[in-house]
Amino acid sequence: MTQKQQLLERIRSREAKVGVVGLGYVGLPLAMEFAESGFNVIGVDVSQEKVDRLNRGESYIADVPAEQVKRLVDAGKFCATTRYEDLRAVDTVSICVPTPLRKTKDPDMSYIIEAVDAIAEVCHEGMLVVLESTTYPGTTDELIVPRLLNNGFRVGENVFIAFSPERIDPANPTYGVRNTPKVVGGVTPDCTEIAAALYSTAVDTVVPVSSTTTAEMVKLLENTFRAVNIGLVNEIALICDKLGVDAWEVINAAKTKPFGFMPFYPGPGLGGHCIPIDPLYLSWKLKTLDYTARFIELASEINTGMPLYVVNKVTDALNDDGKAVRGSNIVVLGVAYKRDVDDVRESPALDIISLLEGKGARVSFHDPFVQRIQLENDEVMDGQPYSEALLENADCVVIVTDHSTYDWQHVVDHSRLIVDTRHAIPPRQGKARVVRL
């Protein structure tokens, strides 16, 4: 029996041991779904604190209930470790580590390289290695394959390598790991077949594609589509502002067309681990091929300029009240990058707060999911308790994240001036003067 046949049989019988590297927003839900599917799962993370919490049956990811973690830990289906050495006995490894951009907007591949080099030390015949971290097209072939073949392995024969982009949407009540289709592309057809067999145990629909580069490009297309359309609608908001037209009214009317239009909504800027970053991976890659990805560059320029636009809105609104930004008390409501999550990665709120402080404002924030933030200048800011006094003492309240837990009528009733970047306050709702994006 070939290595491929042996591994396929172990996957089908659930005898295979599964490893997941990186136990964050992507890796932990995936590890839980594999464990629920009957596999024994080992999760690896560099954070000893996270590992200890998981092994106690606790969760730090909102989409993963602590009850689920504890049940799977107690059943012996899941354990966490900081040691890559513990992966020596696994049959498959899914890599779910961060892929940030450097300040120069080129890819920081250090987390992937460190993970793959560590996996190479424990890689054995018959192992499947799948990269899930979003990256530029060509990464799997250029970085992963050479590192895993240094030990004399032959890809597609006795070691199998694939790319399967993560599609996690934190706090999405409808779509999770199980019911979100999974794209899989292997280095060889046999690699694709084995990776598809593995993921089909935990995901309802698997979508095989012809290569790892194709699978990498799929993920970048998905997020570039969103980034460019958000950039477009943000520019529409800027245009409507100059024309004296309500951008939200325009969008709501346009979306009544039953074909040929998909609504996107303006906001204070892009945030999160995907949309602001992933298109720039593609842009960077194309620059190495002497091509400028013009739509991506323009959308990024518009989207990254939105925090300054919000700050200018605050400045103008205060001026209308006869106040300067310098010395004004400004309260930011919501600093997470999107509604009902605790994730502040790339959140536009961080830029808005820094810009307001740079103008001399006294800024505080409240977020029901975030207790503390760190700004780019390394300043650490603690959140304030939500209260009527917090709102009433503010010269301006800036709504940056429209968490569903906020009582917007209460906000209106106890604020003097609101700059609403999310269209959270319906028109003519209360006494506060509301300035919209």
Within 8 A by CB and 6+ apart from 64, the residues are 28, 29, 32
Angle subtended at Cα 101 by Cα 382 and Cα 33, rounded to the nearest 5 degrees: 80
Task: Enter the tokens of residue 430.
Answer: 């209360």
Q: Which amino acid is at 295?
A: F
Scanning the structure block, which residue is given the tokens 């999107």?
338
| Residue 128 and residue 160 in contact, taking contact as beta carbons nearer than 8 Å | yes
Set 123, 240, 274, 396: catalytic member: 274
Whole-number Å distance between alpha carbons of 178 and 153: 32
Which residue shows structure tokens 């470790």? 81
Q: Of 163, 206, 233, 433, give the one whose Cα is nearest residue 316.
A: 433
The C-alpha angle 290, 143, 182, rounded to 5 degrees, equals 95
Chain-centre distance for alpha carbon 262: 22
Amino acid (one-letter) located at 302:
I
Based on C-alpha coordinates, what's the Rg of the chain? 24
Task: For 409, list phi and psi in degrees, rounded to 5.
Answer: -65, -40
Phi, psi angle pair for 35, to nearest 5°: -65, -40
Catalytic status, residue 396 = no
CB contact set of 248 (below 8 Å; sequence gap of 6+):
265, 423, 436
One DSSP character per residue, 197-209 reads HHHHTT-S-EEEE
169 CB-near residues (< 8 Å, 6+ apart): 175, 180
**42-81: b (≥16 Cβ within 10 Å) or e:** bbbbeeeebbebbeebebbbebbeeebbbbbbeeebbbbb
- Taking the chain, what is the end-to-end CA distance rounded to the nearest angstrom? 64
10 Å CB burial of residue 408 (0-12, 13-18, 19+) is middle
Rounded CA-CA distance 289/187 in Å is 22
Instruction: Report the amino acid identity of residue 335.
Output: V
Enumerate the active-site residues. 274
